[in-house]
């Protein structure tokens, strides 16, 4: 006989870890106890030598699906006499060493089986869950993850549920969100004015029927409301676009199963794995063909964003109406506002968009949008939105921080991050924070995390852009007034976030940050940056020749203004002689005003963003003059790209000015215009243009590497959501012996800014 003590840390709360240990103990004739402590899960196990060994082996090798063991410490302790059973003891204190807020988990197979089984106690019950699945982050008010700290606290378990909760052999043993049709939350259906029409199972049945009939319905789910309609009803989708004021931005879909997805999209084994994973993200998949209904959902786009059902409600809707195969499932919000989470708020904001509401009576404590990811052609995973199912799972840093840090993030696609010790918590997707509602949501989300994680940051890091709302918040004197406030430059943050993700120690790298805009040291808008940097600082080595953004923000939407800036920069006034097609749609008076603004620099800040270069080329090629959503021009330019291996990149010039390389685009623009005049198809121009950027990166890496002896290249920024650029740049650099580091589970877009801010500000404080 022997007795040992095990201390386990990692993701071991809210994932059924204690019940799992309990069952193993039973199976191996082990007595003792398990409990949550401030340092992790503590176990004392007593039994025969071989049983103990088996027990430890199974803990290490077959933990619950969502558990992630980081460290196990084992030590012998003295035997306890007359101990006859194994017990789960009450938590003492909270798990301070490595707090984890578990992410929401898609409904598991066992629970799906139960809701479809007429003989089961939970037949057709839309809140069915167990220790392996169900909402977590979105219902947690505080840690430890116990029922009284979640929004399930208002539902008292009925005797049947209570019995399951207390019986060790049951898979709902210690399932904090355990409930059933008798004691748990309920759904009810209401019209667009909020009048209740049906409740319980009938409400879901009626909602499913209404979807078949082409109605638009707001469905309250796990992390907020979705706006749903039948994806094959072109008429419904058109109506939704008008009502939601969303002209062309692609809608996400939910498919009944993978078979339906495979009918319309190419699905690789890895993509399928992600679709079916317990995070259940939206996966961007290549369309098989451009059917008309696809065009309505994702216009001028080669991809469809699809997810599978991840809550019992979704399964029930598809089960009630076998003809429903595919639903539009877009976030239930109005334009760039945060996702609706409350019934009354949804009624107020969405009643003009939807025909009906399917409400439920469980509070969503934290809104959380669906995550979006893709698998690049070279097999690498790219996260585009890291949210439900992933956030706020912690990330282990390559170093330990002496002080706790809050990174406030950027302005669009915002996330914030907290760091304590060597653990970084990147928030769910907060999104654009400009509107008062969004700003309020952003602020209260930060406060909620601070409370749950019990971190009062000693350092607050923020973006250098004075007008970002995150900067406004961070620099408000009474916002964590004791903390030291540290300003971080946007593109430095981009690169350092990628270094952190790749667990790079502090060393000098060549960082390439391509995006739309970010505030630079000279007060102009940067975005085509070649930096030599580490966590402690950076040096700007090369960038695109800047152009003027006529009307600043307006130019970002009306991209013809950017095209004019590029053309004037290249040809002067003579650009008019080419008779560009896109000019036909431009108002003459506006055009001459814009020309004037560019020449005198009135309300026209300088920009060297890579995204802006794509905007200009997209417009000059005649693809579009205005964009309806961020990144549309670059996405469409990529979508039409046709590979022709006999083609070469356009020529460009590098000019060295005061030690800095300026990438002169004028030769590129001249060549593109020449191609247009020679009626070269846009698909080919797009290809050559993409090749040019790849070439540019390669040439500059070689030059900078020669001067500095650095072989590590780090890639970040929203422009790397362009799959062609991402894959080709990595390929050519790796083929030439460079070490290339890019993002995978942290998005390359501005969602990563908060991570980089933490790394840089935390590093400065050492
Ligand atoms: Zn019950
Ligand atoms: Fe950026």
Per-residue pLDDT at 354: 97
Instruction: Give ∠ CA 319-320-326 in degrees, rounded to 5.
Output: 65
Residue 241's H or E segment, with its range, is helix 234-244
pLDDT, tens digit (0-9, with 9 covering 90-100), for 98-142: 678 889 999 999 999 999 999 999 999 999 999 999 999 999 999
SS3 assignment, position 510: strand
For strand 282-287 and strand 372-375, is the pairing parallel, antiparallel, or unpaired?
Answer: parallel
The rounded Å distance from CA 189 to ligand 1 centre is 22
The rounded Å distance from CA 314 to ligand 1 centre is 21
The rounded Å distance from CA 460 to ligand 2 centre is 19
Query: Per-residue pLDDT for 92 more than 70?
Result: no
The rounded Å distance from CA 714 to ligand 2 centre is 14
d(CA 752, CA 741): 14
The rounded Å distance from CA 712 to ligand 2 centre is 21
Task: Count other Cβ atoms within 10 Å, centred on residue 408.
Answer: 32
The rounded Å distance from CA 334 to ligand 2 centre is 24
Ligand closest to CA 160: 1
Backbone angles phi, psi at 578, to 5 degrees: -80, -10
Q: Are 718 and 633 in contact (CB under 8 A)?
A: no
Angle between helices 632-640 and 610-620 (to 10 degrees): 60
Q: Are 457 and 424 in contact (CB under 8 A)?
A: no
d(CA 744, CA 732): 19
What percent of the chain stands above pLDDT 90?
89
Q: Are 74 and 41 in contact (CB under 8 A)?
A: no
What percent of the chain stands above pLDDT 70?
99
Query: pLDDT-derived band of residue 269, with 50, 70 and 90 as boundaries?
Result: very high
For strand 394-396 and strand 405-407, is the pairing parallel, antiparallel, or unpaired?
Answer: unpaired
CA dihedral 750, 755, 757, 762 (to 10 degrees): 180
pTM listed for this prediction: 0.93
Query: Per-residue pLDDT for 740 more than 80?
Result: yes
pLDDT, tens digit (0-9, with 9 covering 90-100), for 408-442: 999 999 999 999 988 999 999 999 999 999 999 99
Check residues 710 and 170 and name the one with the higher pLDDT. 710
pLDDT, tens digit (0-9, with 9 covering 90-100), for 549-567: 999 999 999 999 999 999 9
For strand 394-396 and strand 381-385, is the pairing parallel, antiparallel, or unpaired?
Answer: unpaired
Query: Per-residue pLDDT for 700 more than 60?
Result: yes
Residue 87's H or E segment, with its range, is strand 86-88
Q: Name residue 190's beta-bridge partners.
A: 196, 357
Residue 215 DSSP symbol:
-
The rounded Å distance from CA 442 to ligand 2 centre is 19
Ligand closest to CA 517: 2
Query: pLDDT-derived band of residue 93, with 50, 70 and 90 as boundaries?
Result: low
The rounded Å distance from CA 425 to ligand 2 centre is 20
Ligand closest to CA 185: 1
The rounded Å distance from CA 543 to ligand 1 centre is 62
The rounded Å distance from CA 122 to ligand 1 centre is 9
Measured over the CA atoms of residue 448, residue 451, residue 453 and residue 458, the dihedral's sign is positive
d(CA 480, CA 468): 18
Check residues 9 and 14 and name the one with the higher pLDDT. 9
pLDDT, tens digit (0-9, with 9 covering 90-100), for 486-503: 999 999 999 999 999 999
CA distances from 18 to 53, 217, 413 (A): 18, 40, 37
Query: Per-residue pLDDT for 310 more than 60?
Result: yes
Ligand closest to CA 489: 2
d(CA 3, CA 369): 46
The rounded Å distance from CA 178 to ligand 1 centre is 7
The rounded Å distance from CA 158 to ligand 1 centre is 4
Measured over the CA atoms of residue 473, residue 475, residue 477 and residue 479, the dihedral's sign is positive
SS3 assignment, position 187: strand
Ligand closest to CA 152: 1
Check residues 740 and 398 and name the one with the higher pLDDT. 740
d(CA 429, CA 414): 6
Ligand closest to CA 515: 2
pLDDT, tens digit (0-9, with 9 covering 90-100), for 636-695: 999 999 999 999 999 999 999 999 999 999 999 999 999 999 999 999 999 999 999 999
Query: Per-residue pLDDT for 382 more than 60?
Result: yes
Give residues whose Cβ lies within 5 Å of ion ligand 2: 515, 518, 750
Per-residue pLDDT at 94: 56
Please choose, from the candidates 497, 494, 483, 489, the residue with its C-alpha nearest in 3D space to the C-alpha of residue 463.
489
Locate 277 and state its tokens.
């994973």
Check residues 97 and 193 and name the one with the higher pLDDT. 193
The rounded Å distance from CA 582 to ligand 2 centre is 28
d(CA 450, CA 420): 11
Q: Is the peptide bond before 144 cis (omega within 30 degrees of 0)?
A: yes
Ligand closest to CA 156: 1
The rounded Å distance from CA 121 to ligand 1 centre is 9
The rounded Å distance from CA 412 to ligand 2 centre is 9
Q: How far is CA 519 from the centre of its chain?
A: 23
pLDDT, tens digit (0-9, with 9 covering 90-100), for 29-61: 999 999 887 778 999 999 999 999 999 999 999
Sorted by sequence, the CB contacts under 8 Å of residue 121 that are 6+ apart come out as: 114, 160, 180
The rounded Å distance from CA 111 to ligand 1 centre is 14
Query: pLDDT-derived band of residue 730, with 50, 70 and 90 as boundaries?
Result: very high
Locate 459 and state its tokens.
């350092």
The rounded Å distance from CA 490 to ligand 2 centre is 6
Residue 249 DSSP symbol:
P
Please choose, from the candidates 444, 485, 442, the residue with its C-alpha nearest in 3D space to the C-alpha of residue 461.
485
Q: Is the peptide bond before 545 cis (omega within 30 degrees of 0)?
A: no
Ligand closest to CA 630: 2
Ligand closest to CA 172: 1
For strand 484-488 and strand 537-544, is the pairing parallel, antiparallel, or unpaired?
Answer: unpaired
Locate 183 and state its tokens.
């004691």
Per-residue pLDDT at 12: 84
Ligand closest to CA 155: 1
The rounded Å distance from CA 125 to ligand 2 centre is 44
Measured over the CA atoms of residue 405, residue 410, residue 413 and residue 414, the dihedral's sign is positive
The rounded Å distance from CA 462 to ligand 1 centre is 47
Q: How many residues does the chain have?
A: 766
The rounded Å distance from CA 41 to ligand 1 centre is 28
DSSP string, 266-304: E--HHHHHHHHSTT--EEEEEESS--HHHHHHSTT-SEE
Contacts of residues 166-170 at CB distance under 8 Å and 24 or more positions apart, as own/partner, are: 168/19, 168/22, 168/23, 168/26, 169/23
Query: Per-residue pLDDT for 634 more than 60?
Result: yes
The rounded Å distance from CA 107 to ligand 1 centre is 18
DSSP string, 536-583: TEEEEEEEEPPEE-TTTHHHHHSTHHHHHHHHHHHHGGGGGGG--GGG
The rounded Å distance from CA 450 to ligand 2 centre is 25
Domains of the chain: residue spans and CATH: 2-88 (3.30.70.100), 187-371 (3.90.870.40), 383-504+751-764 (3.30.420.360), 547-689 (1.10.357.160)
The rounded Å distance from CA 124 to ligand 1 centre is 14
Ligand closest to CA 519: 2
Instruction: Give ∠ CA 670-676-680 in degrees, rounded to 5.
Output: 125
d(CA 666, CA 651): 10
The rounded Å distance from CA 410 to ligand 2 centre is 8
d(CA 59, CA 260): 38
Instruction: Give ∠ CA 622-239-435 in degrees, rounded to 5.
Output: 75
The rounded Å distance from CA 518 to ligand 2 centre is 6
Check residues 100 and 346 and name the one with the higher pLDDT. 346
Query: Per-residue pLDDT for 95 more than 60?
Result: no
Q: Are 609 and 634 in contact (CB under 8 A)?
A: no
């Amino acid at each position: 006989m022997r007795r040992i003590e095990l201390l386990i840390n990692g993701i071991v709360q809210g994932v059924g870890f204690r019940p799992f240990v309990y069952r193993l103990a039973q199976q191996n004739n082990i007595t003792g106890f398990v409990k949550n402590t401030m340092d992790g899960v503590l176990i004392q196990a007593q039994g025969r030598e071989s049983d103990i060994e088996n027990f430890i082996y199974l803990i290490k090798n077959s933990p619950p699906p969502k558990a992630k063991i980081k460290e196990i410490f084992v030590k012998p302790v003295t035997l306890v006499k007359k101990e006859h059973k194994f017990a789960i003891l009450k938590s003492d204190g909270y798990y301070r060493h490595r707090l984890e807020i578990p992410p929401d988990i898609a409904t598991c197979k066992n629970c799906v089986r139960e809701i479809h089984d007429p003989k089961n106690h939970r037949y057709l019950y839309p809140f069915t869950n167990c220790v392996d699945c169900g909402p977590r982050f979105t219902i947690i008010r505080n840690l430890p993850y116990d029922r009284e700290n979640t929004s399930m606290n208002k539902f008292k378990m009925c005797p049947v549920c209570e019995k399951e909760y207390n019986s060790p052999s049951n898979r709902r043993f210690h399932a904090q969100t355990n409930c059933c049709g008798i004691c748990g939350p309920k759904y009810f259906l209401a019209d667009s004015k909020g009048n209740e029409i049906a409740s319980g199972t009938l409400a879901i049945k009626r909602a499913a029927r209404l979807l078949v009939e082409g109605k638009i319905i707001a469905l309250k789910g796990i992390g907020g409301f979705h706006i749903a309609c039948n994806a094959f009803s072109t008429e419904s989708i058109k109506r939704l676009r008008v009502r939601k004021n969303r002209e062309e931005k692609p809608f996400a879909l939910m498919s009944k199963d993978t078979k339906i997805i495979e009918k319309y999209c190419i699905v690789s084994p890895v993509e399928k794995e992600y679709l079916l994973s317990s995070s259940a993200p939206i996966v961007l998949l290549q369309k098989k063909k451009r059917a008309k209904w696809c065009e309505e959902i994702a216009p001028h786009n080669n991809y469809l964003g699809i997810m599978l059902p991840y809550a019992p409600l979704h399964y029930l809707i598809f089960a009630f109406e076998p003809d429903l195969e595919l639903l539009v499932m877009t976030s239930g919000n109005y334009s760039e506002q945060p996702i609706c989470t409350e019934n009354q708020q949804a009624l107020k904001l969405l009643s003009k968009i939807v025909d009906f509401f399917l409400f439920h009576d469980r509070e969503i404590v934290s809104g959380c949008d669906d995550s979006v990811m893709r698998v690049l052609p070279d097999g690498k995973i790219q996260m585009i939105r890291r949210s439900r199912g992933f956030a706020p799972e912690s990330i282990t840093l390559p170093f330990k921080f002496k002080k706790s840090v809050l990174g406030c993030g950027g302005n669009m696609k915002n996330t914030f991050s907290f760091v304590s010790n060597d653990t970084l918590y990147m928030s769910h997707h907060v999104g654009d924070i400009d509107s008062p509602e969004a700003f309020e949501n952003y602020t209260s989300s930060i406060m909620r995390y601070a409370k749950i994680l019990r971190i009062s940051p000693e350092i607050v890091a923020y973006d250098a852009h004075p007008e970002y709302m995150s900067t406004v918040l961070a620099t408000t004197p009474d916002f964590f007034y004791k903390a030291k406030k540290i300003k971080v430059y946007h593109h430095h943050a981009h690169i350092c976030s990628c270094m952190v993700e790749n667990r790079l120690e502090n060393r000098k790298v060549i960082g390439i940050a391509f995006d739309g805009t970010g505030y630079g040291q000279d007060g102009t808008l940067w975005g085509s940056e070649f930096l030599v940097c580490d966590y402690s600082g950076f040096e700007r080595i090369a960038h695109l020749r800047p152009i003027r953004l006529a009307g600043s923000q307006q130019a970002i939407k009306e991209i013809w203004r950017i095209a004019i800036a590029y053309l004037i920069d290249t040809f002067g006034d003579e650009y008019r002689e080419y008779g560009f097609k896109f000019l036909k749609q431009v108002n003459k008076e506006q055009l001459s005003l814009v020309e004037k603004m560019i020449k005198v620099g009135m309300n026209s800040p300088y920009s060297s963003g890579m995204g802006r270069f794509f905007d200009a080329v997209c417009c000059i090629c005649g693809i579009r003059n205005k964009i309806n959503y961020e990144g549309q021009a670059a996405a469409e330019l990529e979508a039409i790209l046709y590979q022709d291996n006999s083609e070469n990149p356009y020529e460009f010039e590098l000019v060295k000015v005061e030690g800095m390389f300026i990438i002169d685009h004028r030769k590129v623009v001249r060549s593109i215009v020449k191609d247009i005049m020679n009626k070269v198809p846009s698909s080919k121009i797009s290809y050559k243009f993409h090749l040019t950027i790849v070439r540019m990166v390669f040439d500059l890496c070689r030059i900078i590497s020669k001067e500095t002896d650095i072989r590590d290249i780090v890639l970040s920024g929203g422009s790397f959501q362009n799959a062609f650029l991402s894959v080709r740049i990595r390929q050519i650099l790796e083929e030439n012996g460079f070490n290339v580091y890019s993002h995978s589970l942290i998005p390359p877009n501005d969602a990563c800014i908060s991570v980089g801010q933490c790394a840089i500000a935390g590093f400065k404080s050492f």
